[in-house]
Structure formats: C-alpha cells, structure tokens
Amino acid sequence: MAEIVVVRDQDAAGELAAGSILDLIAAKPDAVLGLATGSTPLVVYRALERGIRERGIDVSHVRGYALDEYVGLPADHPESYRAVITREVVEPLGLTPSLIHVPNGSLEGIEHAGADYEKAIAQSGGVDVQLLGIGTDGHIGFNEPGSSFASVTRVKTLTEQTRKDNARFFASEDDVPMHCITQGLSTILKARHLLLLAFGEGKAEALAGAVEGPVSASNPGSAVQLHPHVTVLVDEAAASRLRNLDYYRYAYANKPAWQTL
C-alpha cells in the first residue's frame, strides 16, 4: 500500500511521522529505526524530541541504522553523517549511542564496510521503519540514477547535481566528497515500513517520478513502488506535479478509522 498524505506544512509532516514512530517504540521498545540525514527529516527529529518528552517514552533500547555516509571525511568532521546523526538525533532524543549505527566511510576497511553493515542490519532483525528524503535527482539514500534495484550497501559516486545540492553544508562544492557509502535499494526495500518525506517545489518533479513514474533504475526513488507499505508525506508544493492528487486527498479523507499510517 502506498499512501500519499498532503500535509499543511513541514511541521505537520513531522508530527505525523513522529506519532507513528512513537507508537511503534511504545509497542516495541527496541524498535529498529532507519535514519536519514539531509534537511528533510529534521522536522521529524524535532517532533520526536517533543513527543518523547510529552509521552514519557523510554527510548534507551531503540536501535538505529543511518542510510548513508560520505567516504573519506574524518568522522569528527561536522558534516560527516556520523556527526549529524549524533548532533540531530542521538543527543537530542537521548538515544543510546552504542545502539545507533552509521556506515563506516573511513578509507581504512572501506572494501568490506558495506558487507559489514548489511550483516549488522540483518542481525538486528531488520529495520522496522525507514525514514527517507528524496534528492532532486531522484536519489533515496545516496542511490543515484542507475542504481540497481538489487543493490546492497556499497560505495557510490555522487552526481554533480547532488554535490551542488549539498554544497550548502560545506564551504564550497569542491569540498563535498565525491564518494559515499549508502544502503542499497534492496536494503531499503527490506525495511517493514517506508516513510518518505518531500517538501518544496524543488522536489515536485522527483517526487512525481518516484510515486507515479515508470519503475526504473534511472529513477531510484521509483523503487518505493515495489514496497507493500509506503507512506509519503508531502507539502502542497512538493505534491504539485502529482497527477492523481485528487484521489490521494479523497482516499486520505475517507481513510478507515482503524487504519494507522
């Protein structure tokens, strides 16, 4: 089931996503979260922070696996995804640092870092809910166009578009690493629930391609069409190119009361 929910604004998306994640943690205290970086999921982390406090939920047993990491950035670089996950997720939410994993992007051991990560995810019993953003070029995780639907965690080369998009986090575009290590599309599709978020006009085309376009490796986000349980949370601007938008609104407005996200 893919459910597309058009929300008022980013905060509303954050609240909906966090509510679903907190219900999961309340039922399964050692739930496995799939964590995303970039700007998009930040509203979810802020809403989780508030929800944990308000509902008094114990998150000390929650486990987590990040989607991706830059290759070759020192782990203590402020823009390494290890640093971002620590700063934006682990510390504010009060998660247990040793239970939160990020692919190892250091050059030493990079040949087996992907296989090690896959093994760790499998041994945890798999990801319960995977947060996803989408790149303007259609990437999920850092699976750039052309990524195999059978791909697992491995090293990829970032597109020029992604390096341009992410230059805002660095001093210049040249400082954005050329390579990354990312969960593959097959890894992502194994998560039990996908929560894909997209905001703003700049994401409208990528989102429409992912949700309604042909399923193609040229458009990695379209892999979500192969998953049985996907929730897409979008604002009006990101939803603006969806052809079946009226139906999505109608279906959400008439959603059976017993059905959760």
Ligand X SMILES: O=P(O)(O)OC[C@H]1O[C@](O)(CO)[C@@H](O)[C@@H]1O
Measured between alpha carbons, how far is 25 from 168 in angstroms, rounded to an integer? Answer: 33
Answer yes or no whether residue 135 interacts with ligand X by CB under 6 A.
Answer: yes
Minimal distance, residue 252 CB to ligand X, in Å: 23
Q: In degrees, to the nearest 5, what angle opens at C-alpha 24 toward C-alphas 257 and 128?
A: 115
The residue number whose beta carbon is nearest to ligand X equals 133
The one catalytic residue in 88, 118, 128, 137 is: 137
Minimal distance, residue 80 CB to ligand X, in Å: 12
146 within 8 A of 218, measured Cβ to Cβ: yes
The one catalytic residue in 69, 128, 144, 235 is: 144
Answer yes or no whether residue 88 interacts with ligand X by CB under 6 A.
Answer: no
What residue ranges in the chain does DSSP mark as E strands?
Answer: 2-7, 32-35, 63-66, 68-70, 100-101, 129-132, 154-157, 179-182, 193-198, 230-235
Give the x-and-dash track for 45-84 against ligand X (CB under 6 A).
Answer: ----------------------xx----------------
Answer yes or no whether residue 137 interacts with ligand X by CB under 6 A.
Answer: no
Q: Which of 65, 70, 117, 142 binds ligand X (CB under 6 A)?
A: 142
Q: Which of 10, 15, 16, 40 binds ligand X (CB under 6 A)?
A: 40
Answer yes or no whether residue 133 interacts with ligand X by CB under 6 A.
Answer: yes
Q: Which is nearer to ligand X, 57 or 154 (CB)?
A: 154
Active-site residue, 68 included: yes
How distant, in Å, are the alpha carbons of 32, 64, 97, 139 from that of 228?
Answer: 18, 22, 31, 20
Q: Which is nearer to ligand X, 199 or 248 (CB)?
A: 199
Active-site residue, 76 included: no
Burial of 76 (0-12, 13-18, 19+ CB in 10 A): exposed
Tokens of 190: 């194994």
Minimal distance, residue 139 CB to ligand X, in Å: 6
Measured between alpha carbons, how far is 161 from 29 in angstroms, rounded to an integer? Answer: 39
34 DSSP β-pair partners: 65, 130
Answer yes or no whether residue 221 interacts with ligand X by CB under 6 A.
Answer: no
Q: In degrees, to the nearest 5, what angle opens at C-alpha 87 toward C-alphas 81 and 93?
A: 120
Answer yes or no whether residue 161 interacts with ligand X by CB under 6 A.
Answer: no
Answer yes or no whether residue 37 interacts with ligand X by CB under 6 A.
Answer: yes
Active-site residue, 58 included: no
State the number of binding residues for ligand X (CB under 6 A).
13
12: Cβ contacts below 8 Å, ≥ 6 apart: none
* Residues of the chain by 3-state class (helix, strand, coil), percent to 5: 45, 20, 40
Q: Which is nearer to ligand X, 36 or 48 (CB)?
A: 36
Answer yes or no whether residue 235 interacts with ligand X by CB under 6 A.
Answer: no
Minimal distance, residue 37 CB to ligand X, in Å: 5
How distant, in Å, are the alpha carbons of 50, 145, 187, 245 from that of 202?
Answer: 28, 17, 26, 18
Interacting residues with ligand X (CB under 6 A): 36-41, 67-68, 133-135, 141-142
Q: Which residues are catalytic?
A: 68, 137, 139, 144
